[in-house]
Amino acid sequence: MVNILFKKSAKCATILLTKNNKIFMKKVIFFSLILFVASACVFQVNAATMAQTLKGKILLQVEEKGEAWYVNPTDAKRYYMGRPADAYSLMRSLGVGITNSDLTKIQVADVNLGGKDSDGDGLADSVELGFGTRIDSIDTDADGYDDKTEIINGYSPLTELQDKIIDLDFVEMNKGKIFLQVESLGEAWYINPDDGKRYFLGKPDDAFNIMRQLGLGISNQDLEQIVAHIELAKPDQNLDDMIAAAQDCSAYSLTKQSIIVGDAYTTTLDVDAEIINEANDGRCRYKYMKKNIVVSMDDDQKQFFRDDDYSEQEIEQVLQETQLMYDELYNNVTTYIKIGKTDLKEMLTKWDDRGYMVVEPEMDHDIYYVWLEGRTLPGVSSTGLGPYMNFKSVDGVDGTAVIELDGIEYTMEKDELVTVGDYEFMYLGTTVEENICTVNGQEQTCGDDWIYINYKYREL
């Protein structure tokens, strides 16, 4: 249901009063429409102040199909959010690094905090990592109040201090921003301008739904008065040949550069992409790696931070923290997926069109990049998960190993990789452990040291 409000001078339903640069709205008439979007309010304001009034807001085009836009408080321009994966990527790219101590000054909204919850305190384990609370105790600071109760009500779950830790001045200064926890795992939070609370963005679908729920409906005419951000400067290289190869999963690889030019940052990166072959289920095996990620600012981009009272030192710190976050989360990380041929073609076509690659959640794909590791002694065989493995011998510490894999004998050096049927296998060298036994209650050396063969493998 969408509640729609009209300005009194236009259709006599909402009175807008300006006082001390704040907008007060008196709701006079309500009526509802059933649309694709969630709850929202439509209003009109003077074109000269439109972007400034709506900075930090999520806007929904209720006269269209509910397309969502984010008005970046840094530059007062609107950014198209697209599908869940697009919106999630956009929010992270516009996010500003923040320390845990500063983040605690903003009250947490009781939204999207569920999931796997080992201690049953109402906070998912993944969320507790960001808060710094224990996942095996409902009351981390043992003060008699469970972690979630303290967090939702603005108290610290880490100390027994009785005073609230919320800083309303800090909240007011940062409404509408997206923060990334650079001292944790890069968790993203949206500071809702309406209630001043921070909302955990979590996974792409969760983040997209939250942003829509907090959205404000807007007419096309009013939306057009806010300058749209041109998001990407695309390199000339196209993906036509790779799109053709996706038709039958023909082997094909390339490296494509992306240059994301924003009003706050410029991000350049290379993407190594490869169609490997056709999997047993008819989908394509595909891998990609983002590398050489560089975040930079020119003087015009720095000016947006200066306008928000950032010092030159603080601007440089933001740049360094953003670069560090990108390096830790994205740089040189290889992902392997199996993806349907039609969806792979669609993904590559969109990449070619908009200049950046997103594997959307609704696409038919599975990630299979995880390596399984193990170790064993020479002369031992394994018939469990993965290929049949018979570890015949090893020539000393980190020496040449002779390993039989699915009936084929391989002589391998440390860190050598081989493909065996539907698996990749890597010999990782050796680990030496002293051969200790207990005689008459006393530990002592009992023969030669143990030399373990270390390895890892994964399904292709």
Q: What is the pLDDT of residues 17-50, one digit of tens each?
A: 232 332 222 222 222 222 222 333 333 344 447 7
Under a CB-based contact definition with an 8 Å cutoff, are residues 66 and 37 in contact?
Answer: yes
CB-CB neighbours of 56 under 10 Å = 20
Tokens of 150: 């303290």
pLDDT exceeds cutoff 90 at 382: no
Q: Which of 261 and 424 is assigned the larger pLDDT? A: 424
Tokens of 117: 């919850």
d(CA 386, CA 422) in angstroms, rounded, equals: 9
Residue 281 has pLDDT above 80, yes or no: yes
80 phi/psi in degrees, rounded to 5: -75, 130
| 3-state secondary structure at position 187 | coil
Q: What is the CA radius of gyration of the chain?
A: 27
Q: What share of the chain is helix, strand, coil (3-state, %, to 5)?
A: 25, 35, 45
Of all helices (H) and strands (E), which one includes residue 329?
helix 312-329
Concatenating the DSSP letter of every residue in 165-199 gives ---HHHHHHHTT-EEEETTTT--EEEE-TTT--EE
* Pairwise CA distance, residues 74 & 305, whole Å: 7
Asked whether the beta carbons of 428 and 445 are under 8 A apart, the reply is no
CB 39 within 8 A of CB 1: yes
Let me know: does 203 contact 51? Beta carbons within 8 Å. Answer: no
Backbone angles phi, psi at 52, to 5 degrees: -65, -40
| Lowest mean pLDDT, pick from 5-14, 68-77, 172-181, 281-290 | 5-14
Q: Smallest Cα–Cα separation from 94: which of 108, 78, 83, 106?
A: 78
Q: What is the pTM of this model?
A: 0.42
- pLDDT at position 175 is 93
- Determine the pLDDT at residue 67: 81
Task: Tell me the mean pLDDT in the region 96-123.
Answer: 84
Q: Which amino acid does the sequence have at 50? A: M
pLDDT tens digits, residue range 224-268? Answer: 788 777 544 444 567 899 999 999 999 999 988 877 777 788 888
The pairing of strands 96-98 and 178-181 is parallel
As a whole number of angstroms, the distance between CA 173 and CA 55 comes to 12
**Per-residue tokens: 110:** 């009781």
> How many whole angstroms separate alpha carbon 55 and alpha carbon 73?
5
- What is the percent of the chain with per-residue pLDDT over 70, rounded to a whole number? 84
Single-letter residue type at 188:
A
With H, G, I as helix, E, B as strand and everything else as coil, classify residue 123. Answer: coil
SS (H, E, C) 258-305: EEEECCCCEEEEEEEEEEEEECCCCCEEEEEEEEEEEEECCHHHHHHH
Instruction: Identify the residue with better confidence: 350 or 370.
Output: 350
pLDDT at residue 345 in the model: 95
* Closest residue by Cα to residue 250 from 274, 277, 272: 277
Q: 262: which 2 tokens?
A: 């924003």
Residues 6+ apart with CB under 8 A from 154: 107, 164, 165, 166
Q: Exposed/middle/buried for 154, CB within 10 Å: 0-12, 13-18, 19+?
A: middle
pLDDT of residue 402: 93
From 334, 371, 36, select the one nearest 208 (Cα to Cα): 36
The two tokens of residue 264 are: 């706050």
